[in-house]
Structures are given as structure tokens and as C-alpha cells.
Amino acid sequence: MMKRTRTFWRRITDGVAMSELWKQFHVDARTSYRLYSREIETSRPRGRGRVRHFFWMVKQFLWAVFDKLSPARRVLLLVALILLLCNIQISSPDSGSKLMNFEFNGAFWGGILMFVVLMLEVADRVVMKRDLQIAKEIQAWLLPPAPPAVPGLEIAFATRPANTVAGDYYDVFPRPAWQGHEGDYLIAIADVAGKSVPAAMLMATYQASLKTLAATASSLTELAGRMNNYACNNSQNGRRFTTTFIAEYDPASRGLSYVNAGHNPPILRRLTGAVERLEEGGIPLGIQPEAAYQSGTVTLQAGDWLVIFTDGATEAENAYTEEYGEPRLLTVLRVNLGAAPQALLSAIMMDIDRFVGNAPQHDDITLLILKAV
């Protein structure tokens, strides 16, 4: 009996420890609450008492739950809630003048209807999860599995989506040679506004346009301008813009030319300890057609670090809604100056995890780290 119980419990929990189960429940509960409460106005108007405001909040929260269901399931849930409060007993005389009792257990049938609604929602979730898993696999094909060997650089990168699929993109690849640019490498990182499937779809269009336009003979500013014009045709009038940092590295001269299109300025930490921000560029892609972009240039010396990241890293929040911030990122960088890029990447990710704790991840996190050697 004990063996069967243990087997059953392992099947239910997938062998996850109780502490980890509680952590998952805590994160899921906070995420669900955010989903339902984002449409609720929490501020209490003047003249409304605390008790009345509490019941008003409860009503709004229940409506937020109902609105996420289809009309048919709303009716089922409403009937289930009514039945849970009902327990009807009816007495009527039969032909022999005896009382005939009829008892209706509303709680039982209400529970059955609640279970039916749950099964319908689980079925939708399973189908959606399967589709998202396929989308995740397709998205993985668009991202490089490992950094290429670039002369003079050691590279590490990683991404962690807030949901199954992400709106962040990163890549390092050799650019086709053209006059004066033989052997150059293109370095790119991008963050599409929004999350999940819509952002992931636009990320795929960004990847396609970057690969296609990078194969043409054009300067970095021309490349950014053409990508912006392409993005403007797919940005829903600027609502789905993309911040990006694009750089071109020349191993022969160690020169790095770049365009920062509204992205978080990457951190260039020199061997001397000086810190520079790569800010030259323009507005995010997809906002204004024919926008002009400027390029900046730096030279990487042995021992220099370049940390490129999306805002999901520095804006990661803990349970007190405090942001991780760039100062903590710089501290981890300073402590791990002698490490390899992959070790530094792991250290940053672990520090973010320690800072965030059980708070849900609200944005995609992507880091691309380069060390000049």
C-alpha cells in the first residue's frame, strides 16, 4: 500500500520536492492574480467605506474571471456557483397520505459542473501548450545553438523567456564580404515590445529581415534604416516596435561599429576599469519610416568586456517590486573579471535568480557577453 501511495505521489508531483512545489504554486498564484487584477481599479474613491470597497473589489475580480471564459462556460460557472449554495428539500403527500421527501444536493451537482468547466479549460490549455511547444521549437531554430569562433573574441549568450516563447532575439554571424568589409561579423540583439506569441512572431520577422538585408552591400546605418522601414510595415502603427543593438566587428582592426536603435546601452568595461555606454544610434525600429540612424565606433583591446542585454535583465523585480538594476549587474561583472564569458553569464543569471526569489518573471531576459582576448 505504501509503495502504491509513493508511486501515485511521484506521478502527481513528477518527483518535485515539496519546497519546489510550493515555490511553483506561489509563482503561479502571483502570475494569475496579476492577470485578473490588471483590469481592476484598486484605488478607493472618496466617500466609499472600506467594507463597501472590499466587496466592490471582490465583485470586480469575479467579473475579471468571468470575462476570461467563453459565454457558454460563464453560464456553466454561474449555474455551478448557484448550485453550490443550494441544498433543497421538498416534501409532498403521496397517494397514501404519507409525506414523500425529495432532497436535491446542489453542492454535489455544483461541484460536478465546476469539474466540467475545469476539464474544458484544461483541454484548451493542453492544446495551447502543445502549439506553444511547437512554436518554441521553431523559435529555437532561429537562434544560434552556440556562439561562433570569432578571432579576438570570446562570446557567450543566453535567453530566458517569460512565457513559453519570447520576443527577444540575439545572433552573431559572419557577414558576407563586400568592398572593405571582408571577414566582418555581425552582432545583434533585439527586444520586441510585448511578450509571448505576438512578440515571438515579430521576432521571426526581425530575424528574417536581418539575415536578408545583412547579405546586401550596405553600411551599418543603411542596414538599420532598411530594417526600420521593413519593421514599420509590421508594427501596427508603431505599437509593436523593436529596440535593437546591431554591431559589426572587424577582427583585423578590432574595431566595432554599432547602431543602437532605442535599446538599453550596452556596457563596455575597459581593462583599465573605465565604463563606457554604447548609445549612438536612433529611435526603435518600427516607429517612424525613413528615420535616420547614426553609428558609433569603439576599438576593443584585450581584457575589455562588452555586456549587451535586454531590459528584462535589469528590470527584473523581486517580491517588493524592486528592480535588479544596472549597478548590481556591474558589481557581478567586476567580481568576475577573470572568468570566462560563460562563467560570467551564469553568475549574472544566478544573481538575478537570487534577487528575484519567488516573484514571477514578467519579461524576457537575454544577455550577450563578449570578452576581447
**In whole angstroms, what is the distance from residue 36 CA to residue 334 CA?**
41
Neighbour tally for 102: CB within 10 Å: 9
- pLDDT given at position 70: 87
Per the structure, the count of domains in the chain is 2
Statement to judge: residues 234 and 149 lie in one domain: yes
Inter-helix orientation angle 106-142/196-214, to 10° = 10
Statement to judge: residues 125 and 150 lie in one domain: no
Statement to judge: residues 242 and 184 lie in one domain: yes
Statement to judge: residues 167 and 208 lie in one domain: yes
Cell triple for residue 66?
Answer: 468571468
- pLDDT given at position 181: 67
DSSP annotation of 42 reads -
10-residue mean pLDDT series, the chain (373 residues): 78 78 75 73 79 84 83 87 71 55 73 88 81 78 89 94 85 82 89 82 89 89 93 75 95 95 96 95 92 95 96 92 94 94 96 90 93 96
**In whole angstroms, what is the distance from residue 65 CA to residue 37 CA?**
9
- pLDDT given at position 19: 77
Statement to judge: residues 116 and 147 lie in one domain: no
- pLDDT given at position 323: 95
Statement to judge: residues 9 and 123 lie in one domain: yes
Cell triple for residue 130?
Answer: 502543445
**In whole angstroms, what is the distance from residue 192 CA to residue 240 CA?**
7
Statement to judge: residues 151 and 236 lie in one domain: yes
Say how many residues make up the chain: 373
CATH number for the domain harbouring residue 314: 3.60.40.10
What's the whole-model pTM score? Answer: 0.75
Give residues with Cβ within 8 angstroms of 210, minimum separation 6. Answer: 171, 186, 188, 227, 246
Statement to judge: residues 70 and 131 lie in one domain: yes
Helix (H) or strand (E) holding 173: strand 168-174
Statement to judge: residues 121 and 51 lie in one domain: yes
Cell triple for residue 369?
Answer: 557577453
Q: For the chain, how big is the Rg over CA atoms in Å?
A: 28
- pLDDT given at position 128: 78
Statement to judge: residues 104 and 204 lie in one domain: no
CA nearest neighbour of 157 among 324, 341, 328: 341
For residue 122, what are the β-bridge partners?
Answer: none
- pLDDT given at position 195: 75
- pLDDT given at position 139: 78
Q: Where are the alpha helices (DSSP H) in the chain?
A: 2-13, 18-37, 50-67, 71-84, 106-142, 196-214, 220-232, 311-314, 326-335, 341-356
Statement to judge: residues 167 and 202 lie in one domain: yes
- pLDDT given at position 265: 97
Q: Could you tell me if 248 and 184 are in contact, meaning their C-beta atoms sit under 8 angstroms apart?
A: yes
Range of the domain at 61: 2-92+100-135
- pLDDT given at position 98: 56
**In whole angstroms, what is the distance from residue 363 CA to residue 316 CA?**
7
Statement to judge: residues 157 and 120 lie in one domain: no
- pLDDT given at position 210: 93
Inter-helix orientation angle 196-214/220-232, to 10° = 140
